[in-house]
Structure 1
Amino acid sequence: MNKLVIASLFGVVGYIVLINVLKYIHAVFCYDPQPETKPFRLNPQYFGSSYETIHVKTSDGKQLEGWWIPYTKNEPLMVYCHGNAGNLESRAFKLATINQQLHLNILAFDYRGYGHSENEFPTHDGIRADVNAAVDLAQEFVNQGKASELWIYGHSLGGAIAVDYVRQHPDKATTLILENSPMSLRAMAAIIAPKIIHPAIDYIFDNVWNSRENITHIRTKTVFIRGMCDGLVPSFHSQLLYKLSAAKKKLLISLPRGLHNTDWDEEGKIVVRKIRKWLENEEYEGDSEADEEESSELSCQKTDSKQKVIVTEQIQNIQNIEINEPKQAKMITEESNVAMRRKNGFGI
C-alpha cells in the first residue's frame, strides 16, 4: 500500500512538472519580451510625426505604455498590435510612415513585459487583457471625436492576436489589417521549433491565437499583406487565411521582395497605394492576375532555389483551394509546414 501511495505521489509530481515544462516551452516560443528602463532613443517624432506618450490600465491592474500618434479627427484610428519580439522603439519608423502616408491616427502600445509597460512576463490571458484595454482607450478617443472610426492592425503574432480580438468583439473595428501573420501557433511550431518537440506539438500548443479557425468567423473588412521572401512566416500562411476569410470585403497584397518586416521605405509604397485604391473603389478586389503571377514567382534573390520551388508549389496548390474545402487546405498546409521548417530561431 505504501509503495502504491509513493508511486502515486511520484506520478502526480511528475505530471505537475511536465505540465509546467510544457507551459514554459509554450511561453518561450510565443513571447520574447524586450523590457526597457531607459527612454527610447527613437520615436515617431524622430521620423516626422507628432506623438504623445499614453498610459493604459488593464482590467487586472497592469499599466501599459504606448504612443498616441494623431493625424486628423476626420480619419480612422488604427490600434497597432506588434509581434512577439522587440518593443515600440523598433516600430517608430513604420508607425510614422503609416501615419503620414495612410493618413491614420495611431494608438500603439507595448504588451506587458515589453518596452516601458509593466514588467511581467506575458501570458495569453494577459495579452488579451492588454489588447482589450488598448482598444477600449482607442474607442474612447473615437467617441471624443479624435478620429472617425476604429481599425486594428496586427503584424506577425500581433496579427493572430488582432484576429482573436476581432472574433470576440465583431462590432468594434471597421477594418482589420494583417501583415505576415501566421495561421496558428501549431503551424509555426512545425516550422521553427526543434525537431525533438515535434511529436508533442499538439500537446504543447493549445488552440489560442488560431487564426486559421478564427478568420472563418470574421466579417470585418480585412487586408492581408504578405512578403513573398518572408524567411519566418511563409507567405502561403497569408494566402490561406485570405482564402478562408469570411470578410465581407477583403484584399490580398503580395510584396515580391517583401521580408518578414516590411520595408516601409520601399514596399510600403505598394501597400499604401493598394489600400488607398481598395478604400476608394468598392469594385477593387486586389492584385491583378499579372501581379499575382509575379508574386507567386517569388522574385527574391535571397530565397534559395530549393525553397523557391517548395513555396511556389504550395502557393499554386493553395490557390486551387476553395473556402468549402478546409480539410484539404489543412492537409496541404501541414505538409508545407514540414517542408518549410526553419533553423533561424523564433521571432513571430
Structure 2
Amino acid sequence: MKEVGIALPKSRGVGVGIVGAFLLIFIFYYFYGGYMTLTLFAVILLLIFYHAQDLLLYHPDLPTNSRIYVPIPTMHNLPHLTVSIKTPDDVTLHAFWISQPAERCKSVPTLLYFHGNAGNMGHRMQNVWGIYHHLHCNILMVEYRGYGLSTGVPSERGLVTDARAAIDYLQTRHDLDHSQLILFGRSLGGAVVIDAAADTVYGQKLMCAIVENTFTSIRDMAVELVHPTVKYIPNLLYKNKYHSLNKISKCSVPFLFISGLADNLVPPHMMRALYNNCGSEQKRMIELPGGSHNDTWIVDGYYQSIGGFLLELQQQPSPLQKPPEKSNVWIELEHKIIDV
C-alpha cells in the first residue's frame, strides 16, 4: 500500500467552508472597513490551515473504497479471527488476529502491526505474510479510528489511544506469551509505536519496538515536502505534531530501526536522527540500499535482519536467570553471628 505525503483537501465540506469564509470577509469589509477585515482574513486563514491538516495527513479513502472493502488474511492463506477492540473513548477498532498453530502460539513472539497513513490494514497483507512465515510470529493488525471498518475520526490523540487499547486487548488474551510483545510501525505507524514505547507504563509491557521509514515530526516533514520557510510557522499551529524525535529519547525498550535508503518520501536522515537520539541501551539500525518508502520489505535480507535482532533478544537471560552475586549466603550470615 502506497503511503502519501501532502495532498490538497478534497472534502466538499472544506470547499463550502472556504466559500462561506470569503463571503463573511466581504460582509465584514462592507460594514467595518479594511483593517478589521484584514485581521479577520488572517484569523480565517489560520483556522482553515489548522483544521485542514487532518485532511493533508490522514488518507483513509485512498485508494477508493478503502473504507468499505478490507482484504482479509485468508486471501493470502493466513489463518485469522476478526476482532473488535473498544477504546476508552468508545471507539470500535477493527482488527485481525493472525496466530501461529496452537502448539506454538504461546511460545512465539506476538507482533502488533500499525500501518501508514493511507488505505487500510488489508493492503499490507503481503508484508504480513512474510512476517508470519519468516519470523514465525503471532500478529495483531489494527485499523486506526476512521480507517477501514473502524469507527471514529483520525487524530494524533486518537491514534495513540488506539495503540494503547490494542496493547490492553492483547493482555486479555491467554493464547500468547505476554513477555514477547513487539510493536511494529511503518511511516505514520512508526510515530504511533514511538509514542507507546515512550510511555512509562506501556513501555514496560514490550519486548521490543520496530519502526520502519518513519519521520522525526510532522513539522520536519512539512519542511521537507512544502518549503524550508515552513519551519518558521509556530509549533502551536500544527494540529498534528508527532514529536517522535523528542519522545524517542525517553524510550528504554530494545529498538530496531529499519531504513530504506531509496525512500523519497521520508528522508533516511530522519531515521538516523531517531536512532542517534534513542534512549535505549540496546538499539540497532538496519539500512537497506534500494528500499523505498513502501517496499523496503521486499529487499533481500529484510526478514533475516529482523529475525536476527529478535533471536538476540530471546537468547538474553532474564533477571531471574542471572547468577547471584554471592555464591554462599550462609557463610556471610555465620560471620555476622560470630561478630555479634
Q: TM-score range by the shorter chain?
A: 0.7 to 0.9
Distance in 1 between residues matched to 2:120 and 2:153, nearest whole Å: 14
Alignment of 1:65-76 (within 5 A): 65-71=94-100, 72-76=105-109
Given candidates 235, 243, 256, the residue that maps to 1:223 is: 256
2:233 is paired with a residue of what secondary structure? helix
Distance in 1 between residues matched to 2:124 and 2:51, nearest whole Å: 27
Distance 1:207 1:113, change over 3 A: closer
1:184 maps onto 2:184 in alignment:
no
Structure 1 equivalent of residue 245 of structure 2:
212
Q: Structure 1 stretch 78-87 or stretch 195-204: which is displaced more?
A: 195-204
Structure 2 equivalent of residue 159 of structure 1:
190
C-alpha contact (below 8 Å) 2:155/2:240 kept by paired residues? no
Given candidates 173, 176, 182, the residue that maps to 1:146 is: 176
Distance in 1 between residues matched to 2:146 and 2:281, nearest whole Å: 36
Distance in 1 between residues matched to 2:230 and 2:256, nearest whole Å: 34
Distance in 1 between residues matched to 2:166 and 2:43, nearest whole Å: 35
Distance in 1 between residues matched to 2:211 and 2:195, nearest whole Å: 12
How much does 1:38 deviate? 3.9
Distance in 2 between residues matched to 1:278 and 1:134, nearest whole Å: 24
2:204 is paired with a residue of what secondary structure? coil
Alignment of 1:266-285 (within 5 A): 266-267=298-299, 269-281=300-312
Structure 1 equivalent of residue 77 of structure 2:
48
| TM-score, scaled to structure 1 | 0.71
- Larger radius of gyration, structure 1 or 2? 2
The one-letter amino acid of 1:128's match is V
Structure 2 equivalent of residue 86 of structure 1:
119
Superposed CA offset, 1:48-105 (max 9, x none): 3211111111111111101101122211111111111111121111112111111111
The one-letter amino acid of 1:25's match is A
Given candidates 51, 76, 87, the residue that maps to 1:24 is: 51
Distance in 2 between residues matched to 1:121 and 1:14, nearest whole Å: 28
Structure 2 equivalent of residue 258 of structure 1:
291
Distance in 1 between residues matched to 2:230 and 2:206, nearest whole Å: 37
Structure 1 equivalent of residue 142 of structure 2:
109
Structure 1 equivalent of residue 60 of structure 2:
33
Structure 1 equivalent of residue 9 of structure 2:
none
C-alpha contact (below 8 Å) 1:150/1:172 kept by paired residues? yes
How much does 1:27 deviate? 1.5
Structure 2 equivalent of residue 64 of structure 1:
93
| TM-score, scaled to structure 2 | 0.72
Given candidates 121, 145, 167, the residue that maps to 2:153 is: 121
Structure 2 equivalent of residue 307 of structure 1:
none
Counting aligned pairs with the same residue, the percent is: 29
Distance 1:138 1:235, change over 3 A: same
The one-letter amino acid of 1:180's match is N
The one-letter amino acid of 1:20's match is L
Give the aligned length: 274
Distance in 1 between residues matched to 2:79 and 2:251, nearest whole Å: 33
Alignment of 1:321-336 (within 5 A): none
Structure 2 equivalent of residue 288 of structure 1:
none
The one-letter amino acid of 1:159's match is G
Structure 2 equivalent of residue 313 of structure 1:
none
C-alpha contact (below 8 Å) 2:98/2:138 kept by paired residues? yes
Structure 1 equivalent of residue 169 of structure 2:
137
Over aligned residue pairs, what C-alpha RMSD do you find? 2.8
C-alpha contact (below 8 Å) 2:66/2:119 kept by paired residues? no
Distance in 2 between residues matched to 1:104 and 1:246, nearest whole Å: 26
Superposed CA offset, 1:110-167 (max 9, x none): 111111111x4311222122222111112222xx142342111110011011101111
C-alpha contact (below 8 Å) 1:73/1:145 kept by paired residues? yes
How much does 1:275 deviate? 2.2
The one-letter amino acid of 1:33's match is P
- Where structure 1 has 5 or more consecutive residues not aligned to the other structure, the ranges are 1-5, 285-348
- Where structure 2 has 5 or more consecutive residues not aligned to the other structure, the ranges are 1-31, 316-340
How much does 1:170 deviate? 2.2
